[in-house]
Structure 1
Amino acid sequence: MEGRVMVWHNGSFGRVCPDGFGQEEAHVVCRQLGFNNNEGVDPDINVDFGKGSGPILVSNINCKGNESSLSNCKHPEFRFGECSGTPDASVVCKFVPMRLVNGSGPHEGRVEVFDRREWKTVCDYQWDDKDASVVCRQLGYNGTGAISKHRAYFGGGRGNIVSSVQCNGNEGYFTDCKYRYVSSCSHTRDSSVICTVLTLVGGSNSMEGRVMVWHNGSFGRVCRDGFGQEEAHVVCRHLGFNNDGGDPDINVDFGNGSGPVLVSNINCKGNELSLSACKHPAFRFGECGCTPDVSVVCKFVPVRLVNGSGPHEGRVEVFDKREWKTVCDYQWDDKDASVVCRQLGYSGTGARSKIGAYFGEGRGNIVADVQCNGHEGYITDCRYRSVSPCRHNRDVSVICNVTVTFTFVLQKLPKLPIAR
């Protein structure tokens, strides 16, 4: 994205004199290299990458700024020589070589990288939430809470594929991460992300709190005006909580947040996938007469038991980050099983943990390293990792205790006459 400008002519690269080299020429350089300048932001030409070796090849280039390549601009004939300007013409291209495709909105979708003049998908090998956070931050969203998705979650793309992405999560651009340019990976493994554009704050867990929405680089508050059950259902669905037909609780008070109100009078039907799909006025900063801020408690059961002989037993599947995942049996024990059973309405006492895909193998992503103390109300209150390389032949199961205790009362009966 940055460096001294060098042009190829007659068998060798030559330097470019900075005389007459401005923003128009820099735009053409970046466009020719395949970088799309973000929102019309000018490339940086006030940079110094030093002087190259060899003679100056061309100077006094004159571009309008809309040319597809530097050779389409007006300039003197290519010639070897020197110029008064120092250092050589240098450019930092500013661009967003990422896009999200096939999501319900611009905040989510299949990741595509603009690399070497073409859009490429990304293989999900080594793809995780740290990589997703960099993508979201680069696209203008909050990187915190970014969700990585695997196995062509938003559909498979086409063309070349990059792979082995390794971000530490703090990079400013995806291209600052390590990755391979071409991969033999298939499009059934294309990566996706869901960027945080909605969050609940101030609650005791991720299911509850004040509603905050992300817009133009920051989170803003939501006014209560017009906010009802339909809007609450969409908030919970957007966050990945399935309400099982029960209404979220909106008669709650998690106080007032700081900062201006961003949006009010949202109007949802209740079946939308995200709050951004509902009708509302344009995002605006201001205040509203209602207090406290909009708050929600989502009611959900993010655990199910599959393939058992009844609802009390089966393979454990956890609804995590908008998808059902199985659980790896590493560190799985009866304390973990007791939390699952208690969450599903059974007694946690006597719950039995099973390992080695006791009730059959599942599919999709797997969570691992579950560590419950046995007293949690929800399995999501336990520690666990959202993505694991564990295999489905190690899927865990539970058998919840449904033993019915009968009490027998022995009563002394009166003596009966003995027949003679």
Structure 2
Amino acid sequence: MANCKYKQKHNETAQIWLDNVTCSGSESSLTECQHSVFGSNKCEHGQDAAVICSDLIRLAGSGSSRCSGRVEVYHDNVWGTVSDYYWDLNDAEVVCRQLNCGSALEATLSSKFGAGTGQVWLSYVTCSGNESSLTECQHTGWGNYYYYYYSLHSYDVGVMCSGVIRLTGSGSTRCSGRVEVYHNNSWGTVCDDGWDLNDAEVVCRQINCGSALEVPQSAHFGAGTGQIWLSDVTCSGNESSLTECQHSGFGSNRCEHGQDAAVICSDLIRLAGSGSSRCSGRVEIFHNNVWGTVSDYKWDLNDAEVVCRQLNCGSALRAPRSAYFGAGTGPIWLSGVSCSGNESSLTECQNSGWGNYYYYYYNNNYYYNGHYSDAGVICSGDITF
């Protein structure tokens, strides 16, 4: 394992062994890649190739990709895993940034990407989210863990990162900021020519930030640097990635960084389900790194009013019950929601607490809150004249 922080001294007399190297990226050794004959080249040492590596961290496991997988760290000449004790989105954010993979979408637990082998190097990792490396975060020490079962690979952690997209800039948050995409080994911005709410909707969904609320113009979160990768982006709003939308081609534009595009997303709330649109659908909220639904117990127009305002979708027209937009999956995060209608966020309303929904008593009967009771909204933002 090469130490990527090591810098070799320049040697004018050394051979230039390889030229025209072409790898797929899957080879286990550089010499397995296509290349010209050893020593055959017309190069000088001023053209010596270099790399910048992630050094001590990688993603691996079943179903993994460059920006999602089981987290493994390199220590004492051995690759090992990280225990999921206290693992959360702040920790995953550090990993994603360290790997140049955008923002953290999910901090996975319980060996979602398969169990690793060898050492469990880190446990009780506690990051603020601003560290440049996972090993800078607080932890119990190399190979130390509070309880024996956290040394088992069934608790290996993983991450899912946004990959080729991130939000950044002055005043930005996890779900609002200047849009940047990763292409040709560098981060660049997007020109706001033609930039609209459909384009922003794709970005917000791609980084697990709910729905698009606003599309600020003219470098609202500050001007970026480097390449302006995309311009004239035209999305339908249903694409899974911004790069799937029509655009003028990577790097093809007449823009300046004063035109850098931005988004403001709803963050913790979204509308989903069959027949849903930007302003109508099954209400889902993001908690504990998972999207879940809301029970329709006590659900009314006041509650829907808060959701519609939070999503910048006008006023509530209806508060559908009984999984009107289809039954969701995963946790039912909220039940017994009771809003006055003036709250700025659904989570500010009175409710039974996160995940407390098992039974409720009504008309002398107990009822179980399953996904057949998922709440929905229909907002005026869908009405056109």
Q: Structure 1 length normalisation: TM-score?
A: 0.46
Structure with larger RCO (C-alpha < 8 A, sep 6+): 2
